[in-house]
Structure 1
Amino acid sequence: MLRVPHRPAVGPSVMTGLCVLSFLLDASVVSRSHVGLAVLASGALALGAAAAQTWMYGTGRQVVACGLSLCVAACSLLTTSLVQGAVLQRTPGWAELCGLLALLCLTCRYARPSLVMVCSVPLFVAAMRTQERAPVVLDLPVFRDVDGLFVLLPMAFVLLGGYLRGEDGRRRAAARDVRRAERLDLARDLHDHVAHYVTAIVVQAQAGEHIVEKDPATARRLFSNIEQTGQDGLVAMQRMVRLLRTSETATAQAAVTPVMTSIKELVRRADSVGQRVSLEIVEGVKADDWPPQLAKTAKRLVQEGLTNVRKHARTASAVHVRMEVAAGRLVIHVRDNGTSQHHGRPWFLPSGFGMIGLRERVDELGGELSSGPMPEGGWELSASIPLNWADRKPR
């Protein structure tokens, strides 16, 4: 499981504070009559609808969110008709305006294309017409020289919602590309993984056929191994097929280099580019016994860790890679000694797409992945994967 440090939600807190202030401002200046109560009620409805829509769009309730937007727009227009020209009315309803603008932005960002125009046009008109409630507001010095203020504000929030929608789309596309590339990489490994288990089954079956009469005890042990190997192979293929949700075909990969040889080569190459990179393999790490998926993931962990150091910790002078076995789990640490650069270094989840594929691999093996600063300084990428992952039920 990928652990990310908790960050306080500053944006929602600020927006909540502004909404409360705007509501209190309306309450302090509206007339104490049914007109003033209508303005306050409409403002509360708009703010509540904006808060509810953040949940609705997150849970896929697009039609309900659209219907709520239309209801708020209709209530706002009705309130405008009711209070238009009221003698003691000195506010257009700032709380309601904030709610309408928030709904407009949320609609342009999250609504389906077929619903954007249906919802945004009534909200835009309702926000624009709030100026008709208190013409005296436009005579204030701060607004006197601003032409079309109540048109520019909705337009600005429409553009903001459209911009955020585009950013969301680009991020989803980038994440899809990363996952697709990782699945294709897994597909290329599929042939070797199948061959690994099938070859073991065939060899043991041939041996058992020759000794079944001479040494029945050994033959029974071989047949038991065949059964276990077949089960491990089925588990491995089931896990990989779940990841390969696309229909692209894979090509067979060439001979696989032993994982420790590949890792040592990665360390050697990283050490040759200026940073001192060391590799520590604690006694008990037997890579020859690892299944292909575990070996591939171990290599990818070291590769991604060294790549992140080169990208984000260029001032680090030393990098240490440690591999050990503890409590039946393979534990890999990639640590650097960078200090000051970590203060401005972002956590990898918001922008580090290279970690997405790595997380899929680690999760599929029942492991845990974390990344973050160390108390003594520097940065650490750490993973813990059970060696007997094939015995675990798929999650």
Structure 2
Amino acid sequence: MGNSMSETKPSSKPSSLGEEIVARIDQLATISESPEHLARIFLTDEHRKAADLILSWMREAGMSAHLDAIGNVCGRYEGERPGLPALMLGSHYDTVRDAGRWDGPLGVITAIACVADLNRRGRRLPFAIEIVGFADEEGVRFASTLLGSRAVAGTFDESVLNTRDRAGTSMRDALIQFGLDPDHIGKAARARRELLGYVELHIEQGPVLEEKALPVGVVTAISGATRLAASLTGVAGHAGTVPMKLRRDALAGAAECIVAIEQFCRSDEQGLVGTVGYVNAMPGATNVIPGKVSFTMDIRSQNDMHRKRAVADIVRQIEAIAKRRDLALQIDVTHENRSVPCAPWLKSQIAEAVAAEGYAAFELPSGAGHDGMAMVDVADIGMIFVRCRGGISHNPAEHVELADADTGARVLLRFVENFRPHGLVNS
């Protein structure tokens, strides 16, 4: 599979697939806790309305459809005979707060549009197609991500049912209020023998495809991430009376650490990315030398060993800065996710579909997390990225052009119609 680039083909009138997808994206976006901003949070009234709408679309497309015990919207389009193993497609239908409308729903709605096209033509395949709209990928309400896909993968941790939201409602009670039975979540789990693979179409959430002038891309892996919390403690003092050479300024030390992290990651040639997204300086007064600063680090790579070595190198640099500046240092790892590679055999078939639509099969990793991180425990995974304007996501300005939505749908449909299960790839 090559990494060559090609220019986007001249735009033409989009097909009905793209028009249908955009219309439904817009319709789903009207279901929100507020008309001023899009927010569709797990197990809320808006979440239920969205689930019911997606269920209706699945049934219109010729699928049997139901809501499982965690709130996933599940549809099945039978193959040439009932009961065949299934190729699973999907994404999530929950959102962050003040969200864009494309993150998650594009994958669900595009998959439904593809099945509807097959159904209109009376086309049945030698395998079933299942579509899942995962109930909670973002983790906004209960601070626990991938709940829907973990349930399907059989890795749902039932201890999170006792987690409470900001209003004090437990997840267990919220599920019951939603009309679901939390004691049946285990029934959502699928066996590996039932699934031929899991493929997700998603907006890129980054600027690479736009920079390459390509509407779609082939995802190589979902990057692993290490998050750390650091604090530097010096001595607070009067801004006018402590000479510069005698200061133990925690904020100046943190600033040096932040620049060191940026320089380290910018010099990396394997796609490492690092972010300091939160800084808190104490006591936070204009005329006081900061005595303590806390900051976070988020380090990501599609190669776990490379990421772990990078984190160790960054920590050593921070330790050296703290020692030289006579600052006390505390660093804790707060979160660690493995990287998840996309299966080569699925990547290859996705690339074939992209090339057949006239575009270069450009490969790129996903720096953001996706439901495939959970689904890999029950099936091989693949991903298709669709270009989004400016690489903007988790933002009301998030946008996908109709022509790109149409291209993504045509690539996914071509992939599905030509899909060869793993054991038959080389036959």
TM category (shorter chain) comes to under 0.3
TM-score by length of 2: 0.24
Of structures 1 and 2, the one scoring higher in RCO (CA 8 A, sep 6+) is: 2
Structure number having the greater strand percentage:
2
> Relative to total residues, which structure has the larger helix share, 1 or 2?
1
Which has the greater radius of gyration? 1
